[in-house]
A and B are shown apart, each in its own frame.
Chain A
Amino acid sequence: MIKTEPAIRKYSELAIPNADLLLYGVCPHPLHCGLGLTIGGGAVFPEVNFTLPPMNMTDETWPEVVAHYEQMAEQILRRAASLAVPGIVLEFELLPPMTERPEWGAELTALLKRHLRAYYEKRHLAAALRVTPTDIRDQLKPPLMRTGQPWERLKRSLELCAEAGADILSIESIGGKEVHDQALMFGDFRGIVFALGVLAPRDMFWLWGEIGDICGRHPGVVAGGDSACGFANTAMQLAHQKMLPEVLAAVVRAMSGVRSLAAFERGAVGPSKDCAYEGPVIKAITGYPISMEGKSASCAHFSPLGNIAAAMCDLWSNESVQNVRLLSGNAPEVFTELLAYDCRLMNTAAATEGGALRLRDWMTVSDEWMSPQAAVLSPAATIKIATAIVGADTPYHQTIAAGRAAVEILKDGIAQAKLHLSRKEQQWLTRIDEALDGLPQDEAALMRDLEAQYGSLYDKASYGF
């Protein structure tokens, strides 16, 4: 018997029902957070993310680690201030050892907040600090999600970072990934749907309940949102390398919106994570602000979404860059400058009559039909996928509905000769379409069907079964 965990908030209609209202920089529920920052209230701000160069992280090297973060924070904020950036978010993505030892992550959180506060007080730079501990719960096989030392450490990391000065808590959670990885590699669409539509939302509901509790105990700290990075971005990268079909990655992207929505159903208020390219669907459904990344995140990874990703963003991110020396300075401050100019252009356009819509449409049209991944990310496609999700009753059915919507968008693109796909890609699209038709109505039936294939990969108690 499958137990159903109640969601706090069920979205049955879109907060932004019209594609023309789905614009960058604005949303129905702007977020006031951090040091005088309002996200989604009319302007797009840079979200700068940074990491260490190759190095060991030990007790002996810790002072060197701290020095890197001191340097990165100072250089990023100095460059932002010199460019008169009106507001900024720093994202501190903890590396695994910093989550394993929660005090390390908390020490760096406090360090970064000290820098932000200094610039806020001296230079009036509105700012917020997003802190994203690593989801380290997949250390055991099968992973234990709700018990055990990895979860206890992750929970403590979230607690200590909240105490140390985080304004926004986020995570790239991995519930369901243990099944999704294998299903994805074998192109097993039923396994993919089970992972994304049954396991992942169950973990999200539970995990974001926990994160919401932590935020509730720390006034001023907000539950930001999650990312299907380990699912949809993995698929996107493998598709880029011609290892997986592009159409499969695009459908996985659309379906992943359901598991990421669960964070908001459990009380997250945004901004959703930068690498969550499913963010626009979240924004359309919830009305909360989102962070996105595209062309200025090419330091971290390829995407076919360089311009279109900015079309509906409220924060604009570089994803991650190592603290290495470039000609004009260290990479984190260099990418701060790129983001600052991207945001300035968007905000300048938005200040003119009809300018935001015009620029948004240019950013959309320039990428939209260049890849299946971009085709499911346009404002119009976003509304179709979001509408399909809110029209279904359970995460399982929502996931199937999102998949169907994505397939229809891709088929329409092909029919109108806008989207050009190889014969092999088109065969896969047909295969996915048929697989969607063949899914059982009941998620328990799917779970039974897949037990022999995937049952040993996941711990049932970790998902409330």
Chain B
Amino acid sequence: MAQCKELYEAILDGDAKKAHAVTQAAIAAGTEPMTLIAESMVPAMDEVGRLFEQEEYFVPELLLAGRAMKSAMELLRPLLVASGQKMSAKVVIGTVKGDLHDIGKNIVASMLEGSGFDVVDLGTDVAPEKFVAAVTEQEPQVVCMSALLTVTMPAMKTTIDALKSAGVRTRVKVLIGGAPVTLQYAKEIGADGYSENAGGAVDLVRGLLAETK
């Protein structure tokens, strides 16, 4: 189908305007939303991921592709909801209390979004109670926390403890990352996973969600 191919290429080129226009035309022509997702968007993002892995794409190309996919998804989402289709998994992400660094967190958020996850970004300096509220209200499957400072790392444990105290810890997988963070630290504080880079974080989220199915 020509429109599927056009949408695939628009996403690969990171052309959000074109992706939006092609999707609009496809919907008007009666193409099923799931057809566009399965035949254009998922293969396009898989190819983007492959090119990134092979160092053919840098983050800018990756993010632009994600933005193009999002522009198409904005049109498809209401149709999917109306038809009762199940939406993608939700991830809540934030930099922990006391820490204002957000570039690493933003990359992970964008890559998760580009990989099809529904991402709720709580921003920086996020208090434990705010993570708890987000888990309660947004009902995500995954919580991702970032810290760049040795003195803000302990806030990751405080947040996990707050999730336990609120009785919602078992509802979510908790992943942590950031320059001073280690796998050992993740184990010590009871996180479910750790990644040293953004690409690894996406794989980790996928893997943990696959385990829970």
Structural contact, A139 and B100, CB atoms closer than 8 A: yes
**Interface check A424, CB cutoff 8 A:** yes
Q: How far is the CA of A51 from the CA of B55 in the complex (A)?
A: 35
- Cβ of A362 under 8 Å from chain B: no
Interface centre among A54, A55, A428 (most CB of B within 10 A): A54
Given A139-B100, A185-B103, A186-B64: A97 in contact with B58 (beta carbons within 8 A): no
The residues in B between 167 and 195 inclusive whose CB is less than 8 angstroms from any CB of A are: 180, 185
Residue of A nearest to B150 (CB): A54
A26 to B63, CA, bound (A): 45
Residues on the B chain within 8 Å of A141, using CB: 123
A136 to chain B: which residues have CB within 8 Å? 100
CB pair B56 A52 closer than 8 Å: no
> What CA separation (Å) do A147 and B27 show in the bound complex?
49
CB pair A243–B58 under 8 Å, yes or no, is yes
- Distance in Å: Cβ of A310 to nearest Cβ of chain B: 24
A204 within 8 A of B: no
Partner of B103, one of A57, A139, A181, A322: A181
User: Among B55, B59, B123, which residue has its beta carbon within 8 angstroms of that of A238?
Assistant: B59
Instruction: Assess whether A181 is in contact with B102, with CB atoms less than 8 Å apart.
Output: yes
Cα distance, A56 to B21, chains bound together (Å): 51
Q: How far is the CA of A424 from the CA of B56 in the complex (A)?
A: 7
Contact A185 B63 (CB under 8 A): yes
Knowing A96-B100, A139-B125, A242-B55 are in contact, say whether A187-B154 is a contact too (CB < 8 A). no
B188-211 to A contact mask, C-beta < 8 Å, 1/0: 000000000110000000000000
Bound complex: CA of A57 vs CA of B123, how far in Å?
22
Report the bound CA distance from A234 to B197 in whole Å. Answer: 14
Instruction: Report yes or no: B59 in contact with A56, Cβ–Cβ below 8 A.
Output: no
Question: Hey, which chain B residues are within 8 Å of A55, CB to CB?
Answer: 150-151, 154
Interface string of A30-70 (1 = CB under 8 A from B): 00000000000000000000011111110000000000000
- Verify A54–B153 contact, CB threshold 8 A: yes
Q: How far is the CA of A37 from the CA of B107 in the complex (A)?
A: 44
A52 neighbours in B (Cβ, 8 Å) = 150-151
Closest A residue to B14 using CB positions:
A186
CA gap between A422 and B149 in the complex, in Å: 34
Specify which chain A residues have a CB less than 8 angstroms from the CB of B60 in the assembled complex.
185-188, 244
CA distance A54 to B150 in the complex (A): 4
**Main SS at interface, chain B:** loop
Number of chain A residues whose Cβ lies closer than 8 Å to a Cβ of chain B = 30
B 114-162 contacts with A by CB, 8 A: 123, 125, 149-154
The answer for the CA separation of A170 and B97 in the assembled complex, in Å, is: 25
Q: Which of B43-62 contact A (CB under 8 A)?
A: 55-56, 58-61
Chain A residue numbers with a CB within 8 Å of B149 are: 95-96
A422 to chain B, nearest CB (A): 8
Interface assignment of B110: CB less than 8 Å from any CB of chain A:
yes
Residue A408 is within 8 A (CB to CB) of chain B in the complex: no
Complex interface: chain B residues within 8 A of A322 (CB):
150
* Bound-complex Cα distance A136 to B151 (A): 15
Please measure, in the bound complex, the distance between the C-alpha atom of A234 and the C-alpha atom of B61, giving whole angstroms. 18
Q: Given A54-B153, A139-B125, A242-B58, A186–B63 Cβ distance below 8 Å?
A: yes
Separation in Å of the B155 CB from the closest CB of chain A? 8
A237 CB to nearest B CB, Å? 9
Contacts of B150 in A (CB 8 A): 51-55, 322
Q: Is the CB of B58 within 8 A of A187?
A: yes
Residue A241, interface by CB 8 Å: yes
Cβ–Cβ < 8 Å partners of B152 in chain A: 96
Write the chain A residue with the least CB distance to B53: A242
Q: Given that A96-B98, A141-B123 are known contacts, is A57 also in contact with B58, CB under 8 Å in the complex?
A: no
Residue B106 at the A interface, CB < 8 A?
yes
Q: Is A245 an interface residue (CB 8 A)?
A: yes
Q: Is the CB of A95 within 8 A of B63?
A: no
The reply to whether the CB of A103 lies closer than 8 angstroms to some CB of chain B is no
CB of A138 within 8 A of CB of B100, answer: yes
Residues of B within 8 A of A96 (CB): 98-100, 149, 151-152
How many angstroms between the C-alpha atoms of A79 and B99 in the bound complex?
Answer: 33
Q: How far is the CB of A249 from chain B (nearest CB, A)?
A: 11
Q: A241 contacts which chain B residues (CB < 8 A)?
A: 197
Q: Closest residue to B110 on the A side, CB-wise?
A: A185
Nearest Cβ on chain B to A93's Cβ, whole angstroms:
11
Selected from A243, A422, A424, the residue in CB contact (under 8 A) with B59 is A243
Shortest Cβ distance from B56 into chain A, in angstroms?
6
Instruction: Give bound CA distance, A187 to B110, whole Å.
Output: 14
Q: A181-B106, A241-B197 are known contacts; what are 8 more A-B pairs with Cβ within 8 Å?
A: A53-B150, A138-B100, A141-B123, A187-B59, A187-B60, A238-B59, A243-B59, A244-B59
- Spell out A's residues near B (CB within 8 Å): 51-57, 95-97, 136, 138-139, 141, 181, 185-188, 234, 238, 241-245, 322, 422, 424, 428
Residues of B that sit less than 8 Å from A by CB? 55-56, 58-61, 63-64, 98-100, 102-103, 106-107, 110, 123, 125, 149-154, 180, 185, 197-198
List 25 A–B pairs whose Cβ atoms lie within 8 Å, in order of A's numbering: A51-B150, A54-B150, A54-B180, A95-B149, A96-B149, A96-B151, A97-B98, A136-B100, A185-B60, A185-B103, A185-B106, A185-B107, A186-B60, A186-B63, A187-B60, A234-B103, A238-B103, A241-B197, A243-B58, A243-B59, A243-B107, A244-B59, A245-B58, A424-B58, A428-B58
Task: Please give me the 10 A-B residue pairs with the lowest Cβ-Cβ distance, nearest first.
Answer: A187-B60, A243-B59, A54-B150, A56-B154, A54-B153, A57-B151, A242-B55, A95-B151, A186-B60, A181-B103
